[in-house]
Structure 1
Amino acid sequence: MNDTTIKTPYFMIDEQKLVANLDKAKQLKELSGVKLVLALKCFSTWGVFDIIKPYLDGTTSSGPYEVKLGHETFGGETHAYSVGYSEQDVLDVADVCDKMIFNSQSQLAAYRHLVEGKASIGLRLNPGVSYAGQDLADPARAFSRLGVQANHIQADALASVEGVMFHMNCENKDVDAFITLLDSISEQFGQYLDAMSWVSLGGGVFFTWPGYDIPKLAAALKAFSDKHGVQLYLEPGEAIITKTTDLVVTVVDIVDNHKKTAIVDSATEAHRLDTLIYDEPASILEADEQGEHEYVIGSCSCLAGDQFCETRFNEPLNIGQRLHILDSAGYTMVKLNWFNGLRMPSVYCKRGNGDIEKLNEFDYNDFKRSLSQWSVS
């Protein structure tokens, strides 16, 4: 199969780039003793789990279906967490998870009896400090519902769990900033951590970013683990799949209203939602910021402000030309939707030997079935 013959839009995951990130994960594990569980809320494309599984220790989830998916398709340790469990959620996953982490002391009290003897029980704590670029993604924002604040801890509740989870980073590329957070956790919660078997430090630690000082991070993690006598976990998502995947689109029209807009057969609202939510412009492989030809890369949805980015090219764009929207794996495929009834991107993987493998494709029947279902008598 040749990727130039694949109908756009589609995602192309590059195995070699994925393995390069996983090699860094392996280095961090070997130096620090930390265990790594893949955050399925970021990336759940289980068709490439065969590549990832040899490097990581399992998966972590934010909802019951992710728990089941991790257990069935990844194996290893399966961590279950949810901001708000129903009783049925707990019953559905208690038998297939290794760790169940509750978000609040009230949920812990309500449901722990359903989990005891089946999984190790944990509680999420909120340290009140964080590293996040936007308030929307900041777990320590004002009035946060995420985890138990230090001054709200009930000692008997913490005495009844085996581990705790913190999540206070979002795309943190600064190892010194992370170490500062780690020191704060140790200072605030050390008396509780000393009694735990395990501590998860959540995700958002961008240790695969170019130039990141992995040995320095590893040393800090090992020192923390040794100090408190706990098995540490990190929950990487973006760090594992960053820069591995392109969303490939085709220019279907070019309109000029004081600015030229190249309209492509995809939409941020449907296919790359975080571009819209966080107002973070996409990057285009074929672009050159020094180029003389400026374009808005516009979506084909009806939402007026739906665009991928504004950028420049060395040559004018043409209808029928393909563009590669870079770094389109994290929080992308997990958020795909059918807005405007647009064609859903298919998903492919370019294997290390050059072969292209189709992982999934969608058609009109998938769209129709997502909206209603009825039986014909």
Structure 2
Amino acid sequence: MQKNELKTPYFMIDEAKLISNLEIAKRLKELSGVKLVLALKCFSTWGVFDIIKPYLDGTTSSGPYEVQLGYETFGGETHAYSVGYSEDDVKAVADMCDKMIFNSQSQLKAYRHLIEDKASIGLRLNPGVSCAGQDLADPARQFSRLGVQADHIDEEVFSSIDGVMFHMNCENKSADNFITLLNSISDRFGRYLDNMQWVSLGGGVFFTWPGYEIEKLAAALKAFSDKHGVQVYLEPGEAIITKTTDLVVTVVDVVENGMKTAIVDSATEAHRLDTLIYNEPASIMEADENGEHEYVIGSCSCLAGDQFCVAKFAEPLEIGQKLHIMDSAGYTMVKLNWFNGLRMPTVYCERANGELQKLNEFDFQDFKRALSQWSVQ
């Protein structure tokens, strides 16, 4: 099987690039003593967990199916968290998770009896500080429902839990910025942390970004752990899979109405949803910023504003030409949907030895089954 023979759209995960990120994660662990659990809300393509498992300590989840997926396919530590558990949710994951983190004191009170003899119990606290590029993704935004605010804490709760979780970063690429947030947490919540066994500092720390000061981050994490006598966890998602995966598409038409638009056999609304949600243009491998030929890279969905980006190219685009939409793993593959009944991208992994491994493919029956399973007679 050769790449040029593959039918688009498809995702291609590059094992060598994935391992490069994982080696940085390994170094961070060695220098700091921190444990790393993969955030399945960002990336759940379990067909490549065999690559990731040797480097990380387990998984963390945002819903019951993610807990089960981590437990069954990854192993190690399985952390369970949800913004809002039902009683059935708690019962479903109680025998699978090593740590269960509640979002509120009311949920903790309601359900701790179902879990306390089975897993370590934690509570999410809202630090009131954050680093997030968009308000939509800011855990400390005004009126945030995520975690217990400092002025709402019932101090007695800390005598009945083992750890706490903070999440205050989204694509934070600065060690100094993170350390500022970490110091704020230590100052504001230190008296509680001193009595805990573990503290999770959440995800969004982009320690695999080029030039990131790993040693500085590691030293700060180790100092925090030593000061409060806790095992520190981070919950990386994007940091593990950034720049590892392309969404490969084909130009199926070129139309013009004031600007030339190259229509491709994919759609942001179905296959790269965060491009649409956050209005962050995608990047095309074949683009040339100095090129003379500018195109809107438009999707084949019916949504008028559904486009990947505007890009320049050295040569005119042609129908049948393939384009690589880069960095298309995180918060992308987990959000795939069947809008417009578009063909779902096949998922491949290019192994370090050059072998192309098919991880999943979809057909009409998958689309049909997603909408109804039984007919009403």
TM, length-normalised to structure 2: 0.99
Partner SS state of residue 222, structure 1: helix
Q: Deviations over 1:193-242 (max 9, x none)?
A: 00000000000000000000000000000000000000000000000000
2:290 maps to what in 1? 290
Say how many residue pairs are matched.
Answer: 377
Q: Which residue of 1 aligns with 2:305?
A: 305
CA distance in 1, matches of 2:251, 2:311: 14
CA distance in 1, matches of 2:31, 2:191: 26
Residue 234 of structure 1: aligned partner? 234
Question: Displacement of 1:373 after TM fit?
Answer: 1.1
Residue in 1 that maps onto 2:327: 327
Q: Distance in 2 between matches of 1:205 and 1:233?
A: 12
**What whole-Å deviation, never above 9, does each CA across 1:63-95 have from its counterpart, x for those lacking one?**
000000000000000000000000000000010
The answer for the alignment partner of 1:95 in structure 2 is 95
Q: 1:248 corresponds to which residue?
A: 248
1:20-35 → structure 2 map (5 Å cutoff): 20-35=20-35
Pairwise CA RMSD of aligned residues? Answer: 0.8
Structure 1 unaligned blocks of 5 or more: none
Partner of residue 57, structure 2: 57
1:268 match: 268
Tell me which residue corresponds to 1:183.
183
1:278 aligns with 2:273: no
Q: Structure 2: which amino acid aligns with 1:355? A: E
Please report how far the alpha carbon of residue 372 of structure 1 lies from its aligned counterpart in structure 2 after TM superposition.
0.5
Any runs of at least 4 consecutive aligned residues in structure 1 with deviations exceeding 4 A, and if so which? Answer: none
Amino acid at match of 1:192: Y
Superposed CA deviations along residues 12-41 of structure 1, whole A, max 9, x for unmatched, are 000000000000000000000000000000
Give the percent of matched residue pairs that are identical in Structure 1 and Structure 2: 82
Matches within 5 A, 1:327-346: 327-346=327-346
Q: Distance in 2 between matches of 1:116 and 1:161?
A: 9
The answer for the alignment partner of 1:109 in structure 2 is 109
CA distance in 2, matches of 1:148, 1:376: 45
Q: Which residue of 1 aligns with 2:17?
A: 17
Which ranges of structure 2 fall in alignment gaps of 5 or more residues?
none
**What residue in structure 2 maps to residue 136 of structure 1?**
136
Compute the displacement of 1:376 (Å): 9.3
- Give how far 1:374 is off: 1.2
Displacement of 1:156 in angstroms is 1.1
Amino acid at match of 2:209: W
Quote how far apart the aligned CAs of 1:375 are: 5.9
1:3 shift after superposition:
1.1
Structure 1 length-normalised TM: 0.99
Return the letter of the residue paired with 2:196: M
> Secondary structure of 2:75's partner?
coil
Deviation, structure 1 residue 157 = 1.2
Distance in 2, Cα, partners of 1:228 & 1:235 = 19
